[in-house]
Structure 1
């Protein structure tokens, strides 16, 4: 059974986007946070993608 992608109410730092991605893909939240932080050092729209996910991902019920 695959987990639904949503922002959890627990284990979040800012908006819960990294924690939600971690739960969905079976990783630790800190692993996803470090990957996101390192990816921001590369050129691209990572920050805008984070904001978009913050807006589009539903809050966990």
Structure 2
């Protein structure tokens, strides 16, 4: 898991501390791709509507895989 966090952190995929609604996944995706957090949330919901049932899997997986911006131990 540490290598996944390190890889995602190096690519700029982190969950920011500011602007979170739940876990900060959409805010982190928006920041990474240069979108406003609300636009990223809307796109995320639209994609999830196209792929039924995926919302129960994708968000929690991204929550686990994306490191928090303020992790005291970035490798964990």
Of 25, 28, 32, the match for 2:33: 25
Alignment of 1:1-61 (within 5 A): 4-44=12-52, 45-61=54-70
More off after superposition, 35-44 vs 5-14: 35-44
Q: Unpaired segments of 5 or more residues in structure 2?
A: 1-9, 71-76
Instruction: Calculate the TM-score normalised by the size of structure 2.
Output: 0.69
Instruction: Calculate the TM-score normalised by the size of structure 1.
Output: 0.83
Instruction: Say what the alpha-carbon RMSD is for the aligned residues.
Output: 1.7
Paired residues of 1:23 and 1:29 also in contact (CA < 8 A): yes
Q: Unpaired segments of 5 or more residues in structure 1?
A: none
Question: Going by fraction, where is helix more abundant, 1 or 2?
Answer: 2
Report which structure shows greater RCO (CA 8 Å, sep ≥6). Answer: 2
Paired residues of 1:39 and 1:46 also in contact (CA < 8 A): no
Question: Whose radius of gyration is greater, 1 or 2?
Answer: 2
- Please list every run of at least 4 consecutive aligned residues from structure 1 whose deviation after the TM superposition is greater than 4 angstroms: none
